[in-house]
Amino acid sequence: MTNKKRKKIALLFGGNSAEHEISIVTALQAYQAVDPLEFETIPVYITQQGKWYTGDALFKKASYKAFDPDTLNLKRVTLLPEPEIQGLLIYGKNNKIDLNQKIEIDACLLCFHGQQGEDGAMQGLLELADLPYTGSPIAASALAMNKSHCKALLSHFGIPTLPWTVVRKKEAVVNFENVIETILNNKEMSFPLFVKPTQLGSSIGISKVLNENELRRSLAQVFVYDNEAIIEPCLTSVLEINVSVLEGHPPLASVVETPISSDGALSYEDKYLRGGKNSDVQGMASLQRIIDPKDLDESIKKSVQNYAIKGFSILGCLGLVRFDFMLDLNENRLYFNELNPIPGSLSFYLWEKSHPQKIYTDLLSDLIFMAIMRKKENLSLKKNLDNLQKVITA
Amino acid sequence: MWAKAFDTKGTLILALAFLGRFFFEPTFLYFLLSSGFLYSFFKEEDPRVFGKIPLKMTNRAKRLFLVSLSLSFILLLSAYALGDFFKELLFFAFFLQMQPLILLLSWLFLHPDEKRRQNKFLRQASLKLEKVDPFVIGITGSYGKTSTKHALAHLLNTCVGPTFFPKGSVNTPMGITVEVNEKLKPYHQFAVIEMAAYGIGSIRNLSCITKPKAAILTNIGLAHLERFKLTETIQKAKAELAEALPKGGLLVCNGDSPLIREIANNHRDKNIIFYGYSDHLGPLDLLIEFKENTLKGTSFTFTWKGKCYSGTTPLFGKANLSNIAASFAMSSELGGNPDFLMAAIGCMEPVNNRLEIKQDKGVTYIKDAYNSNPLGFKDALEVMEALPGQRKFLMTPGMIELGPLQAHENEEAGKRASRFLDTALIVGKVNREALNRGLSSQMTPSQVLFFDFREEALAFLKKEAREGDVILLENDLTDIYESKSSF
C-alpha cells in the first residue's frame, strides 16, 4: 500500500486527569500495535495544562520524564469544533493559529483514561469537529464513568449490584459529622466498606475502611480527587472477574480474567507499579492475572459475559469496554462493580486469549474502522428541519 | 562537575601554537588551533547534561548565550587587527580567561531588556490577580514555608474551596509571576503564596504584587544567617509580610517562637492566632500535643477553640506537625469544618524530600534531602530514633549558610546523632571536620565514613543496606560544593 492510501489516525492521549500517566502507557502500547500498512499514526499528546502537541518524540517513553516541547521539537496543535476543518490546526509564530496550516485526520484513536478523555468531554469535542473516534459516544461514556449512575441504570435492568450510597463534597464541607453519622446509621453500610471516587478509575483514591476513623480519612482522600464519593459494603471473601466487550451485532465478550491483588482489592500500585520496572510491559497488561481460569465455574463465566453484553447494550456503549464484576465466594453471587469505557491497555491481553482470538493489531483496526463506519452512517441523518425561516418570520 | 581555577586546555593549545610558530607557517598553525579548540570544546562537560540540576536552556539562557557568543566573536575578529601572530596568541589567551567576564558583560548588556520583560510579566500577573481576586494567603519563615504551603493548599482545596498555589518551592517574584500567569484560574477562591526573603524588601515587593489578606509566620531561625548576618535582620525581613496585611487581616503565628511573637505584638491591629506546643511564651489559640511517630505517621491532638481533636497524619516530625497546625488554624478561620480538616490531615502527602519516608525492599529511607537547618535536622534525627530498625545510617553533607554558627551547629547535630547511630556517612568536605567532631563524641572512627561525592555514598548504601535498616538522607548540596577541583 502506498502512503496515500493509508488512513491518518490521530492517537489522542494524556489530558488533565488523575490517570494521565496511565494514558501515556496505553497510548505507547497501542502505537506499537497499530497496523502501519493501513494507518499512519499521528501522536497527539495533551498535557495536564491542556496544551496539545504532536511530534515523533511522543512515541518515546523517555520524552515524558522531563517533558519539554522545545527540546523534543514538538508542534503545538489544537482541534476546533468546526466540521469543515477535518484535522488539527498548527500553532505558528507568536502562538497564532493559521487555518491553512493543518494536519488532516481521518479518525481518532482514543487512549485517554479518567476525566475529560473518558467521560464524554473529548467525545463531545470530536462530535462537534465531526471526526470519527473510537469507543463509546458521549452519553454512554458519561454514564459509564459515573459509578453511581451506572449502577443505578444497570440494576434497574436486572444486573445485580451491591448496595451503595453517595456522599457529596458539598455536604461534607457544610457538616462533616452529619455525613459520617448518616453513613453509620445506614443499615446497608456496615464495616468493612469500600470508599471510592465516583468518577475516577485505575483504583485511584479507593480505600477499604474498617472503622469510623478510616472512613473519615478515606472520604477526605476521595474529596482530593472528586466531588462525590461512592460507598459500598466490602465483600469479605471475593473474587474479581473482568471481561471485555467489543461492539458487534451482537456485541462480543472476551474471555474473563481474575486479576491477583495484594490485598483483596486491586490498588493503583497493583495495576500500574508492580512488575513494571523490570519488564517491557506496563500498565494493566503487566498486572498479575489468570486469563480464562480453568477452575472457575463455566456458569459463572457465562453469567459474567452475559451481564456484560447486556450492560453494553443498555448503556449504548460502542467500541471496546471492560466490565468489572465481583463474585461473593461465600454466597456464590455475582455483582457488577464498575465499567471502564476506555480500559487500560485497551484490554488487548484478554482478546489475545479469546475465541476467536483477536490480536492487538486487528483489534485496533476493527475499532478504527468501526468508528469510521459510524461516522458514515451518521451522515445520512437529517440535522435540521428547514424551519428557520418559519421561526424567524413567525 | 569540575571547578577550575582558570582555563587550561585552551591555554595549553595556545602555548603549543606559540612554540610551533618557530617551525610552521601561521596559516597551518591557525588550522591546528581551530582543530585543537574544536576538540577541547567537545571534551568539555555539557552543563545541559551533567550536574544534579542540569542547565535548562530557557529563552533567557539562550539570549545570554547568543550575546556572549556575539561578543566573543567581535573580540576574536578584533584580534586580527593586531597583525602579529604572537600578539594575537597573547590576546587569545587573555580572551579565554576572560570568558566568565564576557558572560557578566552580556548579562549587563541584556539587563535593561530583561528588566523590561520581567516588569511586563509582573504587570500581567498583578492584573490577573486583581481580576481573579482570590483570597491571598502569604507564608513566610526561616523554614517550613513549602511544607506549610502544601499543607494549607491541601486543606483548603479539600475542605473549603478551589485553591491556587505555586508547586514545589517557587517563592521568588519571577517564579510566582510565571505560576500566576500560567496557572491561576478565574474560579480560584484562594491563593497560597510562599514568600522567601532574599534581603530586606523582598517580601514587601512580593506583597505589592500579590496583596495578601492573611499570613502565616512559621518561625525565625538560623537558616540563611550567612546572608542576613543577624537574626534580627531575618526577623525584620519576615515582618514585612505582617506589615503588608490590611487592618484586621488574619495573622497566624508560631507561638513557640519569641521573635515571631515580637512581630505579632507589633501588629496588634491584625487578627492574630497563635499556635504551638507550649504556652510558656504566651497564650495559644491552638495547642499541639505530639503523641508518637510510627512507620505509618504521626499521631497528635489539637486543642482548638476549647475542643480537643485527635488525629493522625502520614507526615513525620514535630516541625511538620507545627506546619500542619498552622494550616489547620488558617483553614478553620477561613470556614473549614474542623472535623473535615482533621480527616483531610489524615490523607496529606509529604512534600518531596522533606522528611519523606519510603520503604524499599525492607529498608526504610527517610528522605530529608531538600535542605537542612538545625531544627529540621534535629527533627529528622528524632524521627529516625523513634522508628524501629536493625541498624541506623545517616548520610549527610551537613548544613550550610549558617555563617559563624555553621561549625557549631553541625557539631551539635553530630553529637545528637552519635547517641543512637550505627554508621554515619559524611559527604563532601564543607562540614567534614565539624560533623566528625560531633559524631566522635559517642561513635568510634570505624563508624564514621567519609565520601567526597554523594554518588559514592549512595553506592555504598546500596551495597550495604539490609532489610530492617533505617537510612536518613539529610540535605543535599548543590554541585559547586562537590565539584572536583582541577588545575
* Candidate from B160, B182, B347 with C-beta closest to A217: B347
Question: Chain B contact for A217, CB < 8 A?
Answer: yes
Q: What is the pLDDT of residue B486?
A: 54
Residue B205's Cβ-count burial label (10 Å; 0-12, 13-18, 19+) is middle
Residue B50, pLDDT above cutoff 50:
yes
- Beta strands B392-396 and B363-368 are unpaired
Q: Where are the alpha helices (DSSP H) in chain A?
A: 20-33, 121-128, 138-145, 147-156, 169-174, 176-185, 212-225, 268-272, 298-315, 348-351, 360-379, 388-393
Which set of grid coordinates corresponds to residue B366?
527517610
The amino acid at A154: L
Q: 561578543: which residue's cell?
A: B71
User: Alpha-carbon distance A22 to A123, whole Å?
Assistant: 19
Question: Chain A contact for B156, CB < 8 A?
Answer: no
Beta bridge partners of A334: A327
Q: With H, G, I as helix, E, B as strand and everything else as coil, classify residue B144.
A: coil
Q: What is the pLDDT of residue B15?
A: 79
Question: Chain A contact for B347, CB < 8 A?
Answer: yes
User: Alpha-carbon distance A26 to A343, whole Å?
Assistant: 9
Rounded mean pLDDT, B406-435: 94
Residues 6+ apart with CB under 8 A from B59: none
Q: How close does chain B come to A201, measured CA to CA in Å?
A: 19
User: Alpha-carbon distance B47 to B106, whole Å?
Assistant: 19
Residue B148, pLDDT above cutoff 50:
yes
Query: DSSP label at A133?
Result: B
Q: What is the pLDDT of residue B355?
A: 86
User: Alpha-carbon distance B208 to B203, whole Å?
Assistant: 9
Q: How close does chain A come to B468, measured CA to CA in Å?
A: 21
Residues 6+ apart with CB under 8 A from A134: A107, A108, A109, A110, A319, A320, A367, A368, A370, A371
Q: What is the pLDDT of residue A275?
A: 43
The amino acid at B302: F
Which set of grid coordinates corresponds to residue B428?
563532601
Question: Using an 8 Å Cβ cutoff, are B228 and B200 in contact?
Answer: no
Rounded mean pLDDT, B109-120: 92
Tell me the CA distances in angstroms from A244 to A209, A304, A334, A339, B365, one per residue in order.
Answer: 29, 10, 16, 10, 41
Q: State whether A216 and B154 contact (CB < 8 Å).
A: no
Kindly report, residue by residue over B264-304, the tens digit of the pLDDT.
999 999 999 999 999 999 999 999 999 988 888 999 999 99
Mean pLDDT by 10 residues, chain A (394 residues): 76 94 95 96 96 96 90 94 94 87 96 94 97 97 96 97 96 95 94 92 83 95 94 92 95 94 56 45 69 93 97 97 95 95 94 93 97 87 69 66
Q: How close does chain B come to A326, measured CA to CA in Å?
A: 27
Kindly report, residue by residue over B190-233, the tens digit of the pLDDT.
999 999 888 889 899 999 999 999 999 999 876 666 667 777 88
**What's the whole-model pTM score?**
0.84
Kindly report, residue by residue over B356-396, the tens digit of the pLDDT.
888 888 999 999 987 678 888 999 999 999 998 999 999 99
Give the number of other Cβ atoms within 10 Å of residue B21's Cβ.
14
Q: What is the pLDDT of residue A265?
A: 55
Select the more confidently predicted residue: B248 or A389. Answer: B248
Question: Using an 8 Å Cβ cutoff, are A289 and A274 in contact?
Answer: no
As for the ipTM of the complex, it is 0.80
Cα Rg of chain A (Å, integer): 22
Confidence of residue B353 (pLDDT cuts 50, 70, 90): confident
Closest CA to A205 of A193, A215, A218, A214: A218
Q: How close does chain B come to A85, measured CA to CA in Å?
A: 28
User: Alpha-carbon distance A240 to A160, whole Å?
Assistant: 15
Select the more confidently predicted residue: B352 or B342. Answer: B342
Q: What is the pLDDT of residue A276?
A: 39
User: Alpha-carbon distance A275 to A227, whole Å?
Assistant: 32
Beta bridge partners of A195: A207, A231
Beta bridge partners of B275: B254, B286
Residue B58, pLDDT above cutoff 50:
yes
* CB–CB contacts below 8 A, A to B: 47
Question: Phi and psi for B449 in degrees, rounded to 5?
Answer: -110, 150
Q: With H, G, I as helix, E, B as strand and everything else as coil, classify residue B486.
A: strand
Mean pLDDT, rounded, of chain B = 89
Q: What is the pLDDT of residue A283?
A: 66
For B293, the enclosing helix (H) or strand (E) is strand B286-294
Residue B110, pLDDT above cutoff 60:
yes
Q: State whether B183 and A219 contact (CB < 8 Å).
A: no
Question: Chain A contact for B343, CB < 8 A?
Answer: yes
Question: Using an 8 Å Cβ cutoff, are B286 and B325 in contact?
Answer: yes
Which set of grid coordinates corresponds to residue A189?
453500610
Residue B144, pLDDT above cutoff 60:
yes
